[in-house]
Amino acid sequence: MLISKAIFKQSVLTLSMCGALAASQGVMAYQKGDIIVKAGAAQVSPNASSHTIIIDSPALGDTGVNGVDADKDTQLGLTFTYMLSNRVGLELLAATPFEHDIYLDALGADIASSQQLPPTLSLTYFLNDPNEKFQPYVGVGVNYTAFFDGKAKSALDNADTFELLANLATGGPVGITSVENTDVELDDSVGLAFTAGFDFALTDNVGLSMSYYHIDIDTEAEITTDSNLGKIKASVDVSVDPSVYMVGMFYKF
């Protein structure tokens, strides 16, 4: 998973300082059938972009408002790799749930929050000789992101916001004076994932690891509310496409 730039730089320095210690240890060898478990800090940093918000019901149309974004979050990251050969592994990325605030440029405020889990299954290829302590790798795989526990914030859960969006869609007043029970739901996503990283052995079984993932996540957010004019439904397509950074330790069984 991911970390701040300061922690990331500090971790790189730590890895370098561990080089002298590792040189005196036994040689690590990746072999077919090995299981490698990693744990550490993982940060999801969205690179979000969005289409415009559409008011679907009543059929008011395109508001012309886009600029939906999401903030980063750091959680516990775990990976489990099964070595299919001494160079090729099958890796599963897991984590504790991430929570992201959702921001709308047009309002200059957070409008919602949502949690997500992004399990990712990748085929990885290790570039160095299996007996080397330093093991860089690259990989490609598939990601499934499940969104849940979406919540509207006060900037969205009010009549003025919906009247503004409706005005932009129709070009004139609509008459929304009250809203309640505002809800936000995001569709789950399936997409490609690319990864690169390295393992650095400290002993035959223990070492440090750093990894990077770029994940293709596309979702549709649906916003619903009960207003004085009836139920209003709006939707917006969002490309999250996060960068994921993880730094931690591994143990080879």
Domains in the chain and their CATH numbers?
5-252 (2.40.160.20)
Q: Where are the beta strands (DSSP E) in 19-175?
A: 35-45, 49-50, 54-57, 61-62, 68-70, 73-83, 88-95, 98-104, 109-117, 120-126, 134-152
> Which residues partner with 251 through β-bridges?
37, 206
Which residues, other chains included, contact 111 with Cβ-Cβ below 8 Å and sequence gap of 6+? 102, 103, 104, 152, 153, 155, 156, 161, 184
Tens digit of each residue's pLDDT, the chain (253 residues): 334 445 444 544 444 444 444 444 445 678 999 999 999 999 999 999 999 999 999 989 999 999 899 999 999 999 999 999 999 999 999 999 999 999 999 888 999 999 999 999 999 999 998 888 999 999 999 999 999 999 999 999 999 999 999 999 998 899 999 999 999 999 999 999 999 999 999 998 999 999 999 999 999 999 999 999 999 999 999 999 999 999 999 999 9
At CA 200, angle to CA 18 and CA 26, rounded to 5?
A: 80
Rounded Cα distance between 3 and 210, Å, is 11
Q: Please tell me the predicted confidence (pLDDT) of residue 28.
A: 64
What is the dihedral angle through the alpha carbons of 42, 47, 52, 57, rounded to the nearest 10 degrees? -10
Q: Please tell me the predicted confidence (pLDDT) of residue 27.
A: 55
Q: With contact defined as beta carbons under 8 Å apart, do 202 and 135 qualify? A: no
Q: Exposed, middle or buried: residue 122 (CB in 10 Å: 0-12, 13-18, 19+)?
A: buried
Rounded Cα distance between 66 and 68, Å, is 6
Strand pairing category for 109-117 and 134-152: antiparallel
Tokens of residue 46, six digits: 């969205």
